[in-house]
Structure 1
Amino acid sequence: MTHDVQAAVVMEKDGPFTIRDITLAPPRPGEVLVRNNSVGVCHTDIIMREQFFPVTFPAVFGHEGAGVVEAVGEGVRSVAPGDHVILGFNFCGSCDNCLRGKPAYCLDYYGWNFSGRRVEDGTSAISMDGREISGHFFGQSSFATHSVCPERSLVKVPQDVPLHLLGPLGCGIQTGAGAVLNSLEVEAGSSIVVFGTGGVGLSAIMAAVVAGATTVIGVDTRPERLELARELGATHTIDASSQDVAARIASLTGHGAHYSVETTGSPQVLPLAVDCLRVTGVCGTIGASPMGTTAAITMNNLIFGRTIRGICEGDSVPGVFIPRLIELFRQGRFPMDRMMRTYPFDDIEKACADASEGRTIKPVIVFD
C-alpha cells in the first residue's frame, strides 16, 4: 500500500524547500521503507537547488538520513522492522569498482545518486498531485518523514546512540574522516593541513587526531570555526583572511606538510593545498565545485613526487567504516556532536540559510 507522508519539495530551480504532502510507494523487492528520525543538511543539498547537477523539478533532496525501519520488500535480509539505520549513498553493487570494495566509485554513481529515478526502470517512488517527481537522491531523498531506500545502502546502527547524531555519518562526516583514515592513510607522527573547517574539514581534523598526526593545521577565514578546530584537536590554526597561509605552514612544518585536505572546492585554494606539501606529499581534494571548474596547478611541483588525490565519500565502505566511527564517538575520541545543531522540520529553510552563512556547521533536521 502507498503511504501519504510529508517532504520538503523544491518546485523549481533556485526555489525554496517547501513542506508538501507526497505519496510514497511501498518498497519493492530489495527496498526498505524507513521512518526518518532526522537528516543532516549538507552543502550538496543546498546547491542542488541551483541545478548543480542536472535535475528535473519538482524534486526531493536530503542524503544524510537516519531512522527506523518500518517495512521491508521481498528478499531483504540484513534489516528488519524496528531496526535503527543510517541511510547512505547508493551504488550498483555489481560493477568492477563495487566488486573491488570501492562503492563510492561505482561506474554509474551519477545514475544511482543524482538522476532522480530508479536506474533499473526510470520510475520514482515519490508522487505528488498524482504524478511521479524526482526522488531517490543518493538513494534516499530523506528531506521527508519517510524514505524508500535500497537495502544495500543502509547501515544498521546500535539503538543506544541517539539517531539524530548519526545521519551526517552517511555523507559529510564519513567523507572527511575517510579522507584521512582510508584515502590518505595518514600516519602517526605526520603533519596534515586541512583547508576549510566546516563539517567535512572538522571531521578530517578529528580523524587526524585519531590517526596520531602530531601537527594538525586548520585553515579558514572564520575565527569561531578555527576556535572549534582547536578544541577538536587541531594543534595550530591559520586565519586565511589575515595571515600568510603559505608562510605560516612553512614555519610550522619545515619542509612542508606530509598531507593536505582541500574541502572548499575553491580553484584558488587547491593550488595552495598542493604547494604547501613537502616532496612526496599527498593532497586529497574533496570540495565540490561547479561543473567545468578548473584550477591552475604548478606542474613542476608535481614532478617531485607530490600527488593530488580526488576523494569521494572518503573511500568508505559504509557498512564497515560507519560502525567504526560510531565506536570512536562512543569512546569520546570522535566528538562529532560538537558540530551539530538541531532544527525542527518546519525550519528547514532557516537551517539551510544558517549553514550557507556559516552560523551553523552541521544542521540536523529532526522530525516529530
Structure 2
Amino acid sequence: MRVTAAVARDEGQPFILEELELDQPRPDEVLVEVHAVGLCRTDIALRDQWLPVQLPAVLGHEGAGVVVRTGSDVTKVRPGDKVVMTFASCGQCRYCAGGHPAYCVELLDRNISGGRLDGSNALHGDGDGEMHGFFMSQSSFATHAIASERNVVKVDDGTDLDIAGPLGCGIQAGAGAVINRLRPEAGSTIAVFGVGSVGMAAVMAAQLVGCSKIIAVDTQPDRLALASELGATHLIDASRVNPVSAIQTLTDGGVGYTVETTAEPDVLRQAVYSLAALGTCAILGLGPAGAELSVDMTNLLLPGRTVTGVTWGDSRPDEFLPQLLELHGQGRFPIDRLIDTYSMMDINKAVEDMEVGKCLKAVLKPCSLPVRGDGAGLGMR
C-alpha cells in the first residue's frame, strides 16, 4: 500500500516527505494506522549518525495508532484496537524470560539495524535504492507502519493517542529508570540531571514513589520552572552554581539516587559525584559511540556507589505502559504538560524547536502529501 513517510536520506540533513510502498504484514506482524508519533532525540541522533544506522531510512519509534490488519499468527491484538508501539524483543532469551526484555540478546538487531532480522525492509522507495523501513520494528514517521506482535501494546479504547505515543521510548525510559530500576524508598533523595522530557518523566516518577527531596538540575530556567510544577522540590541552575556542591549542601553530603539524561560526560561525572555513600546513578542518555566516563575508583566507588545504565526503563511494556496511562488518567502523571503537537509536514520545525529548547516533547501527526502543488518549502520529494 502507498504511504507518506518522513525520510532521513543524508547525514545531518532535513527529513523529506515521500510516498513509499509499505508491505502487508507477515504472519507475526501488525499493520498500524499511525495517529501520533513522538519525536525522540534518538531519532535526531541516528539521522546525524551518532550510531551507524543505515540511510536512507524512515525513523520514528514512539508511534501510537489503530490496528488495521494482523498477520495470521497474531493473537495479541485485532483490527480496531488502539496500540502503542515500543521497542522489540525476542521473547525467548534469558533476559526476556527473566522479565527484562529491554536487554534482549537480539535488541540491536531488532531495533537499530533498520531492517527485519532476515535483512528485509517493510518500506520501499520507487526504484532509487534500498529504503530502511523497519526501524525499531516500526518506522512510525509515516501514515502507516508495520510492527511485530511483540512490540505493540494494546491500550484502552478511550486512550488519547497523542498522549500515548511518547510512552514508547522517552517517557517510559525516564519513569521506568526510577520505578523499575532505582526503586527509591519513600523519603529518599534523588537528583535528576537534565529535565527534558525523559528527565521530567523521572521527576514525576520520583514524586509518585514518595521521594522527599527531588532535585532538578538544568541550565534552562523554563524547564526548571516546569519541573517545580511537576514534583521537583529543589531547583539547581547548573549555569550559575556548581551542582555537586549545591546538592551536597542541600542533602548534607549527597543524594541516594541520581538520574543522568544528557549523555554529556562532564554532567555524568557531576551526577556520580553528587551521590552519598551507597548511592546509585542511572545513566539514560545516548551519547556518541565511544563516549567514556572517568571516575576516581578509590574515593568514589569504594564507598559503595554504583553507576548503572538503564535501557527503556527496564520495562515490561505490556504491563508498564497501561499503568502509566492509568496514572495519567488519575492526574498523577501529567504527560500532557510536556507535549506540543506538529503536523508531520512540520517535522523539521519540530526538530529545530526541540534542539533550541523551545519544545520539550514534539508529537507529530502523520499526513498524506498534498494532491496538488509542488510541495515547495515543505522538504518534499
1:255: Cα distance to partner? 2.4
For 1:268, the equivalent position in structure 2 comes to 266
Q: Deviations over 1:50-86 (max 9, x none)?
A: 2122122211000000000000001111100000000
User: CA–CA distance in 2 between the matches of 1:303 and 1:85?
Assistant: 46
Q: Count matched residues.
A: 365
1:211: Cα distance to partner? 0.4
Q: Does 1:364 align with 2:363?
A: yes
1:12: Cα distance to partner? 1.6
For 2:218, the equivalent position in structure 1 comes to 220
Q: Deviations over 1:96-143 (max 9, x none)?
A: 111111110011211100111111x21001000135410211111100
Q: Output the amino acid matched with 2:84.
A: I
Q: Output the amino acid matched with 2:143.
A: T
For 1:336, the equivalent position in structure 2 comes to 335
User: CA–CA distance in 1 between the matches of 2:176 and 2:196?
Assistant: 15
Structure 1 segment 69-84 matched on structure 2, within 5 A? 69-84=67-82
Q: Does 1:177 align with 2:169?
A: no
Q: Does 1:34 align with 2:8?
A: no
User: CA–CA distance in 1 between the matches of 2:59 and 2:309?
Assistant: 24
User: CA–CA distance in 2 between the matches of 1:46 and 1:52?
Assistant: 9
1:342: Cα distance to partner? 0.3
Among 261, 275, 278, the alignment partner of 1:280 is 278
Please state whether the residue corresponding to 1:164 is helix, strand or coil: helix
Q: Output the amino acid matched with 2:184.
A: V
Among 107, 122, 126, the alignment partner of 1:125 is 122
On the 8 A contact 1:180/1:207 being kept in 2, the answer is yes
Q: Output the amino acid matched with 1:53.
A: L
TM-score, structure 1 normalization: 0.98
Structure number with higher relative contact order (C-alpha < 8 Å, ≥ 6 residues apart): 2
On the 8 A contact 2:8/2:16 being kept in 1, the answer is yes
On the 8 A contact 1:215/1:236 being kept in 2, the answer is yes
Q: Percent identity?
A: 49
User: CA–CA distance in 2 between the matches of 1:116 and 1:16?
Assistant: 19
For 1:248, the equivalent position in structure 2 comes to 246
Please state whether the residue corresponding to 2:227 is helix, strand or coil: helix
On the 8 A contact 2:124/2:133 being kept in 1, the answer is no
On the 8 A contact 1:52/1:290 being kept in 2, the answer is yes
On the 8 A contact 2:56/2:130 being kept in 1, the answer is no
> What residue ranges of structure 1 are gaps of 5+ in the alignment?
none
For 1:106, the equivalent position in structure 2 comes to 104
> What residue ranges of structure 2 are gaps of 5+ in the alignment?
368-381
On the 8 A contact 1:29/1:73 being kept in 2, the answer is yes
Q: Output the amino acid matched with 2:358.
A: R
For 2:65, the equivalent position in structure 1 comes to 67
Q: Does 1:322 align with 2:321?
A: yes
User: CA–CA distance in 2 between the matches of 1:157 and 1:113?
Assistant: 22
User: CA–CA distance in 2 between the matches of 1:28 and 1:97?
Assistant: 25
RMSD: 0.9
User: CA–CA distance in 2 between the matches of 1:243 and 1:323?
Assistant: 39
Q: Output the amino acid matched with 2:28.
A: G
1:299: Cα distance to partner? 1.1
For 1:159, the equivalent position in structure 2 comes to 157
Q: Output the amino acid matched with 2:301.
A: L
